[in-house]
Structure 1
Amino acid sequence: MEKLKAQLEELLTRLENATELRAKVKELVSIYPFSEYEYIISHLLASKKLSLDEYYQLRNDYLDRNLYLYLFEISAPRGFGELWAHGHLKELVPSLQRPSKQTDPNYSGEYDFFLSPNIRIEVKASRAVEFRSSAPLYLKALASDSQKQFDMNFQQIKPACCEVFVWLAVWRDVIKHWVIPSYEVENNRNYSKGQHRGNIGEGQLHLNKDNIHEFDKYLVQAKDIEAAIRAAFKREKRLRKHG
């Protein structure tokens, strides 16, 4: 929204009554789908200060910057963290299997996916939103180039229950994927053990503007996730053996 507001503010200078229109916008009551943005754009079009081609460009630029804004409208944590995240990863890596007693007789919900022949995978997902803002998720959603602080908390991390972690993070304009050996999560300086009292072997890790680049070496392109999982599994085995 920051970029769109700046663009519209610049376009308003084309109007002779820009000051009057700004005052009306401040008093405007917005009810979906009518908003201050629609109000300003309609005035610019009506006064022929914004051409149709310019409007299309403005619209397309906004869509490109907000491809994944709809994911911030999922309010239920399970709806995002499990239903969407698991479905998204399964689409990218069709060979992933949902575990069951048939694939693992000892399975009781400890991990999320199984990749043949014997790789256990736990999936965690989060969204980049403005830190300490009380606004609805879709209003405080951040773009990947935003300089505002955010705090993505990957919770209920259980390194002993999987060999590989796949973390997903959503910004307004991009989805990022990290593939990390369990050992390297467990021994990362940002990992905090004991998220809940009595939950032995469980912890959490916060990703924010200050530490996120420490994890750049784990970033992978969507098309390379399966290969990255297999490589991380091999590294996990070496680290557990010699670490």
Structure 2
Amino acid sequence: MEKLVEELRAQIARMDLKAKRKYNLNKQFLDKLYSVYPFNKFEYVITHLIGTNTINLDQYLKIRNGYLERNKYLYVFEITAPRTFGETWAQRHLNEVVPELKRPSTTYDANYVGQYDFWFNGIRIEVKASRAVKRQSGEALIIKALSSHSKCGFDMNFQQMKPNCCDVFVWIGVWRDVIRYWVLSSHEVATNKHYSTKQHRGNKGEGQLWLKETNIEEFKPYEVTVRNILTAIEEKGKR
């Protein structure tokens, strides 16, 4: 978002003063411009930049493609329902990139009653996902979404984890431009110094863990590429 704003401001700066006044492209007006999807201040500015021949269609497409490349996962932040994101999107995404994972059932595990999300060669796998968002921001989720290069403080919460109900955890972290993966054994989660069991009163083996800019590097040993997720699951599941 910041990069798009910079590009549009640079284009506005190239417009002559008369055109700026005619089309109300000053910052004060744009900040107060009432927006209803899909009409917003960016649509307003781009329309007038093309209409005044400040940019042509090819230049617009270059700006657009650059924005899409920098924000390829921004659509994930549009999912506002926690369950839809944490379960529906995350589980579907992991199964798409690792199709070898099977949906659990009593066919594979006679004791299965919904405790975990996937099964692979006797390994019980739980999926948790979270999104990197600007800390202490009251803005909408899609506005406070961060890129992986942002210097802002961020919060990424993996919650409702029950290490006693699975063998391996797969964490999915979503930024506007990248998706990162971590694979940990249930023991590594339960014994991690950042793991907290204080999420709910009287909880029975359930906890949460916050990844922040201050501790995310500590989890580097658990991070894997998408191609190595299954290998890591097998390795962690054997411990």
SS at match of 1:139: coil
Whichever residue aligns with residue 176 of structure 1, its letter is R
Distance 1:26 1:121, change over 3 A: closer
Which residue does 2:208 correspond to in 1? 204
Distance in 2 separating the partners of 1:133 and 1:88? 27
Shift of 1:26: 3.6
Which residue does 2:49 correspond to in 1? 44
Shift of 1:62: 0.4
SS at match of 2:14: coil
Superposed counterparts of 1:81-96, under 5 Å: 81-96=86-101
Which residue does 2:6 correspond to in 1? 6
Distance in 1 separating the partners of 2:171 and 2:31? 41
Alignment length (residue pairs)? 234
Shift of 1:93: 1.4
Distance 1:195 1:25, change over 3 A: closer
Moved more, 84-93 or 48-57: 48-57
Whichever residue aligns with residue 15 of structure 2, its letter is L
Shift of 1:193: 2.2
The answer to whether the 8 A contact 2:173-2:181 is kept is yes
The gaps in structure 1 that reach 5 residues or longer are 238-243
Moved more, 17-26 or 183-192: 17-26
Which residue does 1:241 correspond to in 2? none
Q: Percent identity?
A: 53
Which residue does 1:113 correspond to in 2? 118
Shift of 1:195: 2.3
The gaps in structure 2 that reach 5 residues or longer are none
The answer to whether the 8 A contact 2:12-2:49 is kept is yes
The answer to whether the 8 A contact 2:169-2:186 is kept is yes
The answer to whether the 8 A contact 1:194-1:200 is kept is no
Distance 1:227 1:13, change over 3 A: same
Which residue does 1:30 correspond to in 2? 35
Distance in 1 separating the partners of 2:186 and 2:29? 56
Normalising by the residue count of structure 2, what TM-score does the alignment of the two structures yield? 0.92
1:15 and 2:15 matched:
yes
Normalising by the residue count of structure 1, what TM-score does the alignment of the two structures yield? 0.91
1:104 and 2:87 matched:
no
Distance 1:126 1:27, change over 3 A: closer
Shift of 1:200: 2.4
SS at match of 2:50: helix
